[in-house]
Structure 1
Amino acid sequence: MAYEAGTKALQDAGLRYNQVEQACVGYVYGDTCYGQRALYQLGLTSIPIYNVNNACATGSTALFMAKQLIEGGLADCVMALGFEKMERGSLSAKVS
């Protein structure tokens, strides 16, 4: 899921993998390094990857973080990526 979304996003933007300098990856249900796992499939292995988990605001938080990294001059090209495999019905509490 993340591979397809990331690949299509790069194609749409006309970018290559090596132009991405940092990434903010959002997901709610997953282990702490799922962002790295997702982006390593794209070939993004030597950049900072920030894992974002902020409940229903996860996607917008990842996008906002990417915006701040660019505006703050820390990077010129940042990928914001989100993915999730939702269950049927309302969200429920998960305890690991």
Structure 2
Amino acid sequence: MAVEHYDRAKEVLTEEETENDGEEAPIAVVEGDHWKLGSPLPRISAREWETAELEAGNSAFRQFESNLTKFLNDYLPADDRPMQPILLKRYQCLYLRYRSLETGKSTRTY
């Protein structure tokens, strides 16, 4: 859901840029925002991802599509459930800002 929220926010910024004659729209400040996704990959269906991972020897993806569908059906209202096939937006990088409990310093990792 966080990825979907991120994608929606990026779409809104793109629409705002279009409305601002191509100039970059001001970025909305989100309090407590300590992560950012980067290096997006093309969208892929849950079934294609499951197949690719299984062929690569990653058994953790066995029944990924059916388990994902069951999870979404159990926890989302009918109106909020994604259409089939479920398309996923994958990212290769997560930037995370945090404060060390040992030193008290803020740092960023990816």
Give the TM interval when normalised to the shorter protein: under 0.3
* TM-score, with length taken from structure 2: 0.25
More strand by share: 2
